[in-house]
Amino acid sequence: MKRIIILITLFILSGFSFIIQAQSEAENPKKTVATIIGGVSYVPKLHYYGRTDQLKSSAVMPTVLVQFDSVGLYFTGSTVFTTNTTQPLEYAATVTEVGYKFGKKQGIAGSIYGDKFFYQNKTLVQSALQGQAGLNLSHLNKVANVNLTSIAAFSDKTDFFASVGLEHPFVMKTGQSVFVITPTAVANAGTQSFTNTYFKNNKFLGIPVSNQSTTQTTQVFNLLSYEFSVPMVWVYNNIFLVVTPGYVMPQNELTTSGNTEVVSRTGTNLFYVNLSLLYSFKLKKV
């Protein structure tokens, strides 16, 4: 199996934020014990800040979210199945998250969360990451929401990531349907120390790579990518269809020497369209 970069940036979680917003626009919900959202997502081009494997692998991700509305706590679980031109669909990883959401529709809102990763195949580049903790903050306003994210990711060493983004949701209602479209622009930065753990245990693209030659590069906090997307959520009753076209431009790709050759992660400007079909229901108080 070729080296595959899993999309740990949790496209599905970002999609849920639009889904929950769309649901609040679609109805005036009564007090509930919990909201449960389950379904499946298709990611045609797996990438990590624009870095992909050579075969441009795809993924199918069954996902469930449980949110305890009155206290702001939530839990998500996603199972990742990957496929490409040389292999059939196979189980690759499971991602779990526990978090706390706070804030209102206008003003400061955000979430604090922790992720745990479980990998079936240790040749996955991000299998060096055992888990991560993050903080999302948003300034919600009528002009453009400003989003800030900081992440600490844990392997043999700790990597730090940060992103800043702008978005503006447009909401349209037609009968029982609600349509939300949210143009979004994000800049991502961070370190890449976890790659040394991967290089130490694996050959990269079949070539022995020197761990020492990458140490200084991977510990530098650099711009990693620019990403532009337009998440679109269509809501009808409790059914959600999420279509997310996007364009990512990787920056400061890691390059290191192996023997007499120079190898680097495969990263080029990438257009993608992610899809999700989900169903939501509420556990109401008696």
Q: Which of 51-60, 183-192, 217-226 has the lowest mean pLDDT?
A: 51-60
State the Cα–Cα distance between residues 284 and 286, nearest whole angstrom.
6
Run of H or E residues at 102: strand 87-103
pLDDT value for 255:
63
Q: How many helices and strands, by DSSP H and E, does the chain display?
A: 3, 19
How do residues 2-31 score in pLDDT, each as one tens digit? 333 333 334 444 445 545 544 544 444 557
Mean pLDDT of 168-180: 90
Residue 265 one-letter amino acid = R
Please provide the average confidence, as pLDDT, over all residues in the chain.
79
Q: Rounded distance, CA 230 to CA 1, Å?
A: 32
β-strand partners of 108: 139
Q: What is the mean pLDDT of residues 219-227?
A: 90
- pLDDT of 1 above 60: no
Window from 165-169, 196-200, 211-215, 226-230 with minimum mean pLDDT: 211-215
The one-letter amino acid at 261: E
Average pLDDT over residues 243-253: 91
Nearest residue to 261 via CA among 213, 219, 225: 213
CB 239 within 8 A of CB 276: no
> Among 11, 18, 89, which Cα is nearest to 280's?
18
CA–CA–CA angle 22, 28, 32 (5° rounding): 95
- Mean pLDDT value across residues 82-105: 86
Query: For residues 195 and 96, what is the distance between their CA atoms, to the nearest angstrom?
Result: 22
What percentage of the chain carries pLDDT values higher than 90? 35
For 102-116, the pLDDT digits (tens) are 887 778 989 999 999
Position 225 pLDDT exceeds 80: yes
pLDDT at residue 129, rounded to an integer = 77
Q: What is the pTM of this model?
A: 0.81
How far apart, in Å, are the Cα atoms of 170 and each of 133, 137, 206, 243? Answer: 30, 20, 47, 15
What is the reported pLDDT for 175? 85
